[in-house]
């Protein structure tokens, strides 16, 4: 009724997962988060179950989207294939705590940096949303530390994250949303580029620097992201 999209995190193993899937598939649930995804075949199996339930319940095929969680070394090395296993997959994240446990490392930024960034790259390669940040999601009491990690995550290319406590929600929303200054600059870059192209100029300067295609595309992406976030 509030217009917000609902994502349900299901359980594992299969018997628990099946109960959760049966209970969750409905008009009001936008997506399921799949923990401990072992391989692409698991995603395909869940997708087949979802298709049956959507037909039975009169929902559009593909209504229920998926966010996959990479939490084991075995899944880590199949991340791109997992994210590409079904058109239902819209996002992927590293489950920091479980991944650290499975690999024998501590859930600290030093060890999690490379895996987190690799999952971001795999998500980008598969065309799905890269979710997460570098560090432990369990450290929710230290707001400034969490804020710093979300700022870093945005710089690294992540576009969102899960939260485990209400204290994290406002910080996440504030830091993932582009600032007004960033948006003003992005609009100016796009305007300068469009004006130069309209005049047939091949050389485009902005703020004393040459504008090239990647800079313009980054500005356009920022404006698009802001529009999408404002609709949530």
For the chain, what's the residue count? 232
Q: How confident is the model at residue 1 (pLDDT cuts 50, 70, 90)?
A: very low
Where is pLDDT greater, at 155 or 1? 155
pLDDT averaged over the chain? 92
DSSP code at position 135: S
Please check whether residue 94 is in contact with residue 112, taking contact to mean a CB–CB distance below 8 angstroms: yes
In percent, the amount of the chain with pLDDT more than 70 equals: 96
Give the pLDDT mean for 198-209: 79
- pLDDT-based confidence at 137, cuts 50/70/90? confident
Tell me: pLDDT of 2 over 70: no
Cβ count within 10 A of residue 119 = 27
Q: How confident is the model over 74-128, as pLDDT tens digits?
A: 999 999 999 999 999 999 999 999 999 999 999 999 999 999 999 999 999 999 9
pTM confidence score: 0.85
pLDDT band at 141 (very low <50, low <70, confident <90, very high): confident
Phi (first) and psi of residue 7, to 5 degrees: -120, 130
| pLDDT surpasses 60 at 153 | yes
CB 131 within 8 A of CB 79: no
Confidence of residue 231 (pLDDT cuts 50, 70, 90): low
Residue 210 region by backbone torsions, left for phi larger than 0, else alpha for psi between -120 and 50, else beta: beta
d(CA 62, CA 54): 8
pLDDT band at 207; cut points 50, 70, 90? confident
Given a contact cutoff of 8 angstroms between Cβ atoms, the answer to whether 93 and 121 are in contact is no
b/e 151-182 (16+ beta carbons within 10 angstroms → b): ebbbebebbbbbbeeeebeebbeebbbbeeee
């Amino acid at each position: 009724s509030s217009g917000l999209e609902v994502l349900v995190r299901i359980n594992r193993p299969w018997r628990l997962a099946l109960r959760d899937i049966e209970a969750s598939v409905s008009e009001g649930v936008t997506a399921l988060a799949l923990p401990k995804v072992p391989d692409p075949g698991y995603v395909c199996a869940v997708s087949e179950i979802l298709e049956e339930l959507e037909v039975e319940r009169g929902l559009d095929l593909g209504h229920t989207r998926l966010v996959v969680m990479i939490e084991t070394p075995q899944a880590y090395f199949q991340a791109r294939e997992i994210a590409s296993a079904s058109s239902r997959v819209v996002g992927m994240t590293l489950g920091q705590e479980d991944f650290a446990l499975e690999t024998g490392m501590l859930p600290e930024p030093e060890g999690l940096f490379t895996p987190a960034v690799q999952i971001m790259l795999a998500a980008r390669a598969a065309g799905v949303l890269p979710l997460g940040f570098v560090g432990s999601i369990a450290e929710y009491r230290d707001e400034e530390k969490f804020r710093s990690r979300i700022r870093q995550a945005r710089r690294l290319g992540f576009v969102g994250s899960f939260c485990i406590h209400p204290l994290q929600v406002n910080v996440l929303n504030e830091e993932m949303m582009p600032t007004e200054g960033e948006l003003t600059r992005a609009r100016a870059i796009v305007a300068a580029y469009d004006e130069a192209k309209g005049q047939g100029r091949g050389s485009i300067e902005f703020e004393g620097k040459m504008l090239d295609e990647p800079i313009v595309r980054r500005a356009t992406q920022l404006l698009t992201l802001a529009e999408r976030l404002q609709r949530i």
